[in-house]
Amino acid sequence: MTSLQYQQADLRRAMTPISSREGAHWISLEVAGDERFRNVIERTYEGTQDCPELAGFRSAADAYTGHVASRTAGPYCWELLELDGEVAGVVLVSSGETAGSAELVYCGVVEGQRGRGMGDLLVARAIERSRELKATRLVLAVDDRNAPALRLYARHGLTVLARREVYYATAAEMARLKPAEGAL
């Protein structure tokens, strides 16, 4: 399907992320609730350049369930960004898999707000919240073909850590590949 880039930012180095802007308002998961988050995330999938082959492959509810699993690892900070009363995007930061790390689980901007600096606000917020979680490193994965996201992350000091090829199979393909009963 694609190559994923795994990126990281060293949060110990001096950065001055700015996650505020006139008219911007942050709403936590605890205030907004899971249903509103799921709906906003679904809106951010419209016209996405991040693994577009997956559009329609699974429901927004299934995708959201996958994101929710990251909350069980430890402290997390999930927020919606509203600008002048309209939802602009969402950022999901959770404790990372290794000590001292945080993961940018998901960052998305709704289609009508793209190209207006919302991604910068979301990534800056992820950096701020990661530091509040006492992380010294922020990690994420991004589709190698998602040029706008790659430029965004580079602006915020993230660098490539590794790459991995990603493949997917439909349920019919998986059933066809399943070994016969009793086979080793």
> Does 137 map to a domain?
yes
> Does 184 map to a domain?
no
pLDDT-derived band at 178 (thresholds 50, 70, 90) equals: low
Average per-residue pLDDT for the chain:
83
Domain of residue 120: give its range.
2-177
Q: Is the pLDDT of residue 72 over 60?
A: yes
> Does 182 map to a domain?
no
* pLDDT tens, position by position, 10-61: 999 877 667 778 889 999 999 999 899 999 988 887 755 555 455 555 666 7
> Does 23 map to a domain?
yes
> Does 94 map to a domain?
yes
CB–CB of 127/10 below 8 Å?
Answer: no
CB–CB of 67/92 below 8 Å?
Answer: yes
* pLDDT tens, position by position, 121-141: 999 999 999 999 999 999 999
Q: Which of 60, 34, 31, 29 is nearest to 45 (CA)?
A: 60
> Does 74 map to a domain?
yes
In angstroms, the CA 118 to CA 130 distance is: 18
Q: Mark out the alpha helices in 86-179 (DSSP H runs).
A: 118-132, 147-155, 171-177
Domain count, the chain: 1
In angstroms, the CA 8 to CA 179 distance is: 39
CATH code (residue 52): 3.40.630.30
